[in-house]
Structure 1
Amino acid sequence: MAGAARAGRAVMLGAMLWAGNAMAQLTPPQVVDLAPVVVSGVQPGPGLWQVTAADGHTLWILGTVSPLPAKLEWRADEVQAVIASAGQVLGPPGWTVDADVGFFKGLTLLPSALKAAHDPQGRRLEEILPAPLYARWLPLKQRYLGRDRGVEKDRPLVAATRLYSAALKSVGLGGGSPVTSVLNAAYKTRGLTPVVTRVVVKVDDPRQALKEVRGSTLQDQECFEQTLAVVEQELPQLVERANAWSMGDVDALQRLAVEGQYQACLGAVAGSAFGRRRGLHDVDDQAARKWLAAARAALARNAVTFAVVPVHSLVEPGGFLSQLEQAGYSVRSP
């Protein structure tokens, strides 16, 4: 039943993220028409960041990015060697939803989940968005989603997410990460279970939560607009970043370490009535504090620890590496 439970939780998580996962110019910007070359096949990935305590205990960190090339095969020799000697591994930071529903109960909730993806007032995108912003949406929808009429009933955040996923697929990105499967195999071989560093948002009553989601209004126009800007102009940079990770170009990774539309879309969820009731208003700060506490505890306990962290969380001003360095640890880049 483990797989069934995961499927049920996925239904809930998707629904909650849907409800919750400046004026446009009068002349829509020209969409960048490109044919980016995405690397494929066996690639080494980046080197590891090294954080060392005064007693010599070391935390090795793999910086990750998403999306990655769809046809990437990761040669993880260095990472596998570190995990083989690690006393502990830390899971990635962030937040997740814990909704304990079985598979069949998840299926009964699916209609409610789909309704949660729609505007609570029953409006279509054309009625919600300013006319200039909707005019930018139409050619992108046609290009990446075709004649999908159902998306017009979705909340702007949901429609933006669907557009973004389709645009990534069109340039050879996404479709699942090879990193997770490689890491899980290495953990299993070593007999290690990653320490959970994510903030867990517990949902005890999924049906009631979905009712709250369906009734919540999201301020998600900024999320929609920023997602359109990424699709219009930034696909080449996403390809460049994915290639940099695959080929181990750390300088390029650090230069391209941006969050894109994430904060705007998270803010739309966290700032809603639903998000405030569920404690999402400062979830990123909670997640950062939890990961840093886990990292310090692991450095005190283990001679060798391995961790996985998004590159932007590591290298941004005031990010994890900066905070660890300020706390007295030695930090060395790959």
Structure 2
Amino acid sequence: MDRHTVCALTLSFLALPALAQSAAPASAPAAPAVAPPGQAAPDAAVTAPAAAAEEAPPVTVVVEGRRPGPGVWKVTKGDHVLYVFGTYSPLPQKMEWDSSRIERLVAHSQEVLMPPSANAHVGFFRGLTLLPNLIGIKKNPDGATLHDVLPADVYARWSTLKAKYIGEDGGIERERPMFASEALMRAGWKKNGLVGGGIVLGKIEEIAKKNKVKLSRSGYEMDLEDPRKLIKDFKAAQVDDVACFTKTLDSLDADIDTMRARANAWANGNIAEIRKVNYREREDACDNAILNSAVIKNNADFRQTPERLREAWLKTAEKSLADNASTFAILQIRDIIDPKGYLADLQAKGYTVESPK
């Protein structure tokens, strides 16, 4: 186990991936039917009026086979260039990403900037001593269950979707809503032909190592003064993560077909469709559940994490642009296409930014 693994475990509660990246539903989804005790829950398609069923749009088929993914954004100043590639999750499970174009760009670059991340510096041996403290970090405080901490209507929706995508799993009922919702989301993806986008990031790392191109971090490190106390405080703290949990249910309950369409848009490199996506609603709800919790807000190491990550990336990107003839960078696609995102900051500083067609 290396230092990065220990740090990732230590900060597992902070580094939850923003999984759904879903747009807001056009209207609030109706609560699913809940069966009386001892009876199976009725299928939504059966209980819906016939007219509504006839008007329902066809299910989007998730693409398969070799797909190019999106093109790269090009940031230039003088004769130096920064190629920026946008990652997305979820992606089509049976897609084979055609990385040939990216391999050429990486091979001709002097440096690859990994996505920005905040890493906790605790030291290897000190990190090993922290591992026992991490046991139970995903659980609700005081042995509470999801039934205890969720509003009744939200728990009813959870029960229906859990039965559909996860099945019997008593242990998950004791997890904090944010962790339970992550497990539900991944199970929902799998049953709908989708998978997390980490495979793309891994492939780019492999390409860089194969071509002996320098891999660089683009975030910052935190020196935690008392990580053991931080973990203890988090395990005992209540976290207002119901909004994160509810947005996850919305995504699976009302937005799964749109999720497939977004995955297809990334796979096919359809920039026009990619730009239509609202990436932030669930992400913001889940991020805020952590960053606004008392244990984090009262810890100086974690204050203004998003702002510090952005500043660190911009500083690293500008240095790479100055030092290298060609640099390749990876960002979440939401941070690229956002009119107030990372590339907008570079453009405001005088860099030329070109979008793929």
Q: Deviations over 1:165-200 (max 9, x none)?
A: 111111122256331232122211332232211233
Partner Cα distance (2:200, 2:173) in 1: 34
Partner Cα distance (1:200, 1:104) in 2: 15
Number of residue pairs matched? Answer: 324
Q: Is the 8 A contact 2:10 2:134 kept in 1?
A: yes
Residues 49 and 113 (structure 1), Cα distance of their counterparts in 2 relative to 1, 3 Å cut: same
Aligned to 2:330: 308
Select between 87-96 and 305-314 the one with higher mean Cα deviation.
87-96
Q: Name the aligned partner's letter for residue 63 of structure 2.
A: V
- Aligned partner of 2:12 among 11, 14, 31: 14
- Aligned partner of 1:293 among 315, 334, 337: 315
What's the CA shift for 1:319? 1.0
What's the CA shift for 1:16? 5.2
Partner Cα distance (2:245, 2:115) in 1: 27
Instruction: State the SS of the aligned residue for 1:279.
Output: helix
2:198 is equivalent to residue 174 of structure 1: no
Q: Name the aligned partner's letter for residue 75 of structure 1.
A: D
Q: Is the 8 A contact 1:16 1:213 kept in 2?
A: no
Aligned to 1:91: 114
- Give TM-score scaled by structure 1 length: 0.86
What's the CA shift for 1:7? 4.9
Aligned to 2:220: 199
Partner Cα distance (1:100, 1:36) in 2: 48
Aligned to 2:355: 333
What's the CA shift for 1:321? 2.2
Aligned to 2:94: 71
What's the CA shift for 1:224? 1.1
What's the CA shift for 1:60? 0.8
Aligned to 1:266: 287
What's the CA shift for 1:286? 1.0
2:321 is equivalent to residue 318 of structure 1: no
Q: Is the 8 A contact 1:32 1:233 kept in 2?
A: no
Aligned to 2:231: 210
Q: Name the aligned partner's letter for residue 154 of structure 1.
A: E
* Aligned residues: CA RMSD: 2.8
Identity of aligned residues (%): 31
2:54 is equivalent to residue 51 of structure 1: no
Aligned to 2:31: 28
What's the CA shift for 1:104? 10
Select between 206-215 and 58-67 the one with higher mean Cα deviation.
206-215
Residues 234 and 43 (structure 1), Cα distance of their counterparts in 2 relative to 1, 3 Å cut: same
Q: Deviations over 1:126-171 (max 9, x none)?
A: 1211112212211011111211111111111121111111111111
Q: Name the aligned partner's letter for residue 270 of structure 2.
A: D
Instruction: State the SS of the aligned residue for 1:45.
Output: coil
Partner Cα distance (1:70, 1:97) in 2: 32
Residues 153 and 44 (structure 1), Cα distance of their counterparts in 2 relative to 1, 3 Å cut: same
Aligned to 1:238: 259
Partner Cα distance (1:109, 1:137) in 2: 31
Instruction: State the SS of the aligned residue for 2:131.
Output: helix
Q: Name the aligned partner's letter for residue 172 of structure 2.
A: V
- Give TM-score scaled by structure 2 length: 0.81
What's the CA shift for 1:65? 0.7
Q: Is the 8 A contact 1:43 1:72 kept in 2?
A: yes
Aligned to 2:172: 151
